[in-house]
Structure 1
Amino acid sequence: MNFQHTDDRRMLADSLNRFVAEQYGFEARDKIARSDEGFSRDMWQRFCELGIVGAFFDEAAGGFGGDGFDVAVVFEALGRGLVVEPFLDALIVGRALAHAGNDAQRALIAKMIDGAAIASFAHDEPGSHYESARVSTRATRHGDGWKLNGAKGVVQQAGHADVLLVSARTSGGEYDTAGISLFIVPRDAQGVSVRDHRKIDGGRVAEVSLDDVTLAADALVGNEGDGHATLTHAIGYGLVALASEAVGAMDVAKEHTLEYLRTRKQFGVPIGAFQALQHRMADVLLEIEQARSAAINAAAAVGEAGVARERALSAAKVSIGRIGARVAEESIQLHGGIGMTWELPLSHYAKRLVMIDHQLGDEDHHLARYIELGRAASK
């Protein structure tokens, strides 16, 4: 397997890293993250002008990439800057539409690539415990169209999105993979209620209620009842994105910690000279490289299908969850009390690493999923 990035990917990564370093410094990022919107529309537009969203899709969908490694290089750079603009949802919603959408729905991808539209992924529900097939929101036939009722939780930037990609059950039981359908729902549609709030790691999320939301027939994405396969496809790319974002954040936490160990003095010498701290830092460096390998493996597997793909994705999420928490804890402890202060960027990287574990399934969920997939494959 060739792990070298193409020239186009290296150019994209260089451009994005340079933009983040020059235009998205910590002070600017902190101001954006704590704003009423929780992101910057101006920055969103400027990022899109760099071609970031276009890298998520192949030429057939209007992009210029679409490979797992295209997603990885973008999100690693975004992780280094703790970027709060809604790129993860653009990726997941866009991949779902590219996978199963009709021509009109796929036109939304072009708007996201241009920065003209913001989409939110509304799938998780209160009490779902990360189970992708646990959908209680109902969609029933209403004339030629549909009527939706239910609730969605922790929807990224739903308060400022143009559309929501909503999962709803059209048949089957609450845990059945069959019978899940996907719908494009305008955020301002009658019956859509959004209550947003801040996240502890920056930005905003919302609780979304759907009360007799009436949709036309063409709001259905793909075939009725076949939405779970599309969800699995799109969420897989989201897992690659989160793993890569975590690696980028870990690299910055590592750099800040190494610099602190070199400059902070105790007993007249840099504290990095103490062997006990050297050993702890060496362990952190090894763990980060393991996380990087897991993210690379996920990016290589995401374009495939079947159990091997899903196990690679879950393995990466398990590694990222465990290692991200350790990097966060060790970096703060090696800094001492100053590591917890709001003014120091490190504390924000630590919070983001912990929160990444809880997006699209935490470490425990994916460990159980990895084991279950292995047992199913051995039968």
Structure 2
Amino acid sequence: MDFDLSEEQSILKDSLDRLLADKYGFEDRKRHMAAPEGWSAQMWSQYAEMGLMALPFAEADGGIGGTPVETAIVMESLGKALALEPYFSTVVLGGSFLRFGADDDQRAEYVPAVAEGSLKLAVAQLERNSRYDLHHVETTATKNGDGFVLDGQKSVVLNGDSAGKFFVTARTAGGTRDEGGIGVFMVDAAADGVSVRGYRTQDGARAAEVTFDKVKVGSDDVIGDPEDGLALARRVVDAGIAALTSEAIGVMSAMHALTVDYLKVRKQFGVPIGQFQVLQHSAVDMFVAIEQARSISLYATMMADSDDADERARAMHAAKAEIGRGGRIVGENAIQLHGGVGMTMELAVGHYFKRMTMLDMAFGDADHHLRALAAKGGLMAA
């Protein structure tokens, strides 16, 4: 199997890497974080000009017709730069709901706006008591004529304070933990009854607590079957996990590069500490962990658009477990080899470690996915 990038993919990677190298240095990131939105509106516009927002959508819907490979390329580059813009929440998660669940009219209305960068999306599915279980839904959607009325609260909605539209999971029937009776609804952030409280997460990104109080949505705001939306939500999360594994590769690669550079310049006993064999071994352990993680990330990328839900889930469980394990090895070694300075806010490596920690926790940590994979009998079905 040929894993080399095509000419178009190489151009995409090189162009984005150059842009981020020029515009997204460590000090630039601090400035972007301090902006009212918590990210750079200028960079967002440049992403749109490059076609990044249109990347995963079909040409017939106003997109470019890219594959998960192109999304992986973008996410790895964004990970290396610790980019703050809501690309993941808008294009990967929100875009997946549009691609996999929306009807023709909904895609015609929203995809062009996402592609040009004017519409930002967020996915509101996590609740205070749900942990990592997508089927634990306490938010309710009560039938109201042709539409529904939503009541409930969603937590840690990524970039929720920047979104113009929310994709919300809500229960139309059944008990709190039933897998049936879950619908997906598209809700305007400015609708009556929607309140958003934004905040900064520990890695410098943005999230929000979103409350829905008797929020009315029409029948044209329902995404797919209002009583059978869990499969769609799981497919979207699988696409998100595949993208996050690619971002994690970018984060880990940056931590490794920063650490190797530090070993070359930090001196002890009159020589660079990189000459000490035990520290060289630690740097090699980091490299091996990255390459193992890269391999499983490639597999997750190839499975991201699979229609086989069981095989796709196995791939994502395996990838998330390995990414979490590898990320911890790389992060802990990076901090250890930098010494106390690695924990300070003034050095980039600590910020990368924070982001890697958040990536491990997103949609289930390594232990959660390892247990889920074991319950399925392993990566390959018997």
Scaled to the shorter chain, the TM-score interval is over 0.9
Aligned partners of 1:34 and 1:371: how far apart in 2? 43
- Runs of 4+ in structure 1 deviating by more than 3 angstroms, as ranges, are 375-379
Which amino acid counterpart does residue 64 of structure 1 have in structure 2? I
Deviation sequence 1:146-192 (CA, Å, 0-9, x none): 10011100001211211111011111222222211111100011111
Matches within 5 A, 1:156-167: 156-167=158-169
Equivalenced residues, count: 379
Q: Secondary structure at the match of 1:10?
A: helix
2:84 aligned residue: 84
Matches within 5 A, 1:215-294: 215-294=217-296
Residue 25 (1) aligns with residue 3 (2): no
CA drift at 1:375: 7.2
2:197 aligned residue: 195
Matches within 5 A, 1:28-177: 28-90=28-90, 91-106=92-107, 107-177=109-179
Q: Secondary structure at the match of 2:202?
A: coil
> Which runs of no fewer than 5 residues in structure 2 stay unpaired?
none
Q: Report if aligned partners of 1:80, 1:248 keep a CA contact under 8 Å in 2.
A: yes
CA drift at 1:298: 0.4
Q: Report if aligned partners of 1:257, 1:335 keep a CA contact under 8 Å in 2.
A: yes
Aligned partners of 1:182 and 1:42: how far apart in 2? 32
Aligned partners of 1:344 and 1:378: how far apart in 2? 45
Aligned partners of 1:65 and 1:320: how far apart in 2? 28
2:372 aligned residue: 369
Which amino acid counterpart does residue 96 of structure 1 have in structure 2? F
Q: Report if aligned partners of 2:318, 2:379 keep a CA contact under 8 Å in 1.
A: no
**Cα RMSD over matched residues?**
1.6
Classify 1:28/1:141 alpha carbon distance in 2 versus 1 (closer, same or farther; 3 Å).
same
CA drift at 1:378: 5.8
Aligned partners of 2:355 and 2:65: how far apart in 1? 27
Aligned partners of 1:177 and 1:109: how far apart in 2? 29
Which amino acid counterpart does residue 374 of structure 1 have in structure 2? G
Q: Secondary structure at the match of 2:54?
A: helix
Aligned partners of 1:34 and 1:373: how far apart in 2? 44
State which of 326, 329, 344 in structure 1 corresponds to 2:332: 329
Query: What TM-score results when the alignment is normalised by the length of structure 2?
Result: 0.96
2:185 aligned residue: 183
> Which runs of no fewer than 5 residues in structure 1 stay unpaired?
none
Aligned partners of 2:313 and 2:8: how far apart in 1? 28
Classify 1:290/1:104 alpha carbon distance in 2 versus 1 (closer, same or farther; 3 Å).
same
Q: Percent identity of the aligned residues?
A: 42
Classify 1:75/1:378 alpha carbon distance in 2 versus 1 (closer, same or farther; 3 Å).
closer
Query: What TM-score results when the alignment is normalised by the length of structure 1?
Result: 0.96
Q: Report if aligned partners of 1:71, 1:240 keep a CA contact under 8 Å in 2.
A: no
Deviation sequence 1:62-84 (CA, Å, 0-9, x none): 32244221111010000011011
Q: Report if aligned partners of 1:82, 1:249 keep a CA contact under 8 Å in 2.
A: yes
Bigger drift between 302-311 and 202-211 goes to 302-311
Which amino acid counterpart does residue 104 of structure 1 have in structure 2? D
Deviation sequence 1:268-317 (CA, Å, 0-9, x none): 11101111111111111101101111111100111212322111111111
CA drift at 1:230: 1.2
CA drift at 1:342: 0.9
